[in-house]
């Protein structure tokens, strides 16, 4: 019985060694690799360009409940960083849009933002957006 295991073991080792060794072939075609260091040649990126879903003036939220406040407003999109510039917006007493308590720019990557604020509620012109206080510091003094 030991002899059978010894022969089987030798056979397996031989097949393993033969399978791992590749013969030297002169028929193998090699593809040349070109490396350029020219600054004029753009280097392609491997990641696809992000296309933002929202635009400046879009009011968005994590739910479709338009009466729930506050909501988020898109102030800008930074293509270089791939982030939304946004702030918090409230509705006026007459249910029109809207106002910011004070201007504060907040930034979040597009994918994260769109995952959390997945509903477009409406769109407004940023010039129609009122601001109650010119800065956070002045707002804090009124408290």
Q: Is the pLDDT of residue 122 over 50?
A: yes
Residue 136 burial (CB count, 10 A): 12
Across-strand partners of 76? 85
pLDDT above 70: percentage of residues in the chain:
66
Mean pLDDT of 108-130: 93
Q: Is residue 49 part of a domain?
A: no
How many structural domains compose the chain? 1
Q: Is residue 11 part of a domain?
A: no
Q: Is residue 83 part of a domain?
A: yes
pLDDT of residue 61: 94
Q: Is residue 64 part of a domain?
A: yes
Distance CA 17, CA 14 (A): 5
Is the peptide bond between 35 and the residue preceding it cis, with omega within 30 degrees of 0? no
Please state the three-class secondary structure of 9-58 as a single string.
Answer: HHHHHHHHHHHHCCCCCCCCCCCCCCCCCCCCCCCCCCCCCCCCCCCCCE
Q: Is residue 42 part of a domain?
A: no
| 15-69 pLDDT per residue, tens | 445 554 445 544 444 444 444 444 444 444 434 567 899 999 999 999 988 888 8
With cut-offs at 50, 70 and 90, classify the pLDDT of residue 9. low
Q: Is the pLDDT of residue 1 over 80?
A: no
Would you state the structure tokens that stand for residue 17, as one six-digit string?
């060694």
Mean pLDDT of 91-111: 91
pLDDT of residue 97: 87
pLDDT of residue 51: 87
CA 30 to chain centre: 38
pLDDT of residue 14: 53
pLDDT of residue 98: 85
Q: Is residue 26 part of a domain?
A: no
Which domain does 88 fall in, by range? 58-141
């Amino acid at each position: 019985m030991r002899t059978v295991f010894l022969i089987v073991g030798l056979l397996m080792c031989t097949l393993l060694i033969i399978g791992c060794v590749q013969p030297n072939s002169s028929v193998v075609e090699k593809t040349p690799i070109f490396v350029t260091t020219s600054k004029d040649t753009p280097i392609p990126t491997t990641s696809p360009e992000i296309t933002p879903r929202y635009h400046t003036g879009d009011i968005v939220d994590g739910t479709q409940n338009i009466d729930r406040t506050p909501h988020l407003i898109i102030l800008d999109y930074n293509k270089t960083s791939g982030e939304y510039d946004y702030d918090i917006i409230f509705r006026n007493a007459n249910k029109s849009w809207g106002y910011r308590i004070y201007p504060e720019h907040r930034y979040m990557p597009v994918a994260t933002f769109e995952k959390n604020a997945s509903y477009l509620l409406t769109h407004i012109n940023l010039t129609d957006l009122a601001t109650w206080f010119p800065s956070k510091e002045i707002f804090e003094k009124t408290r």
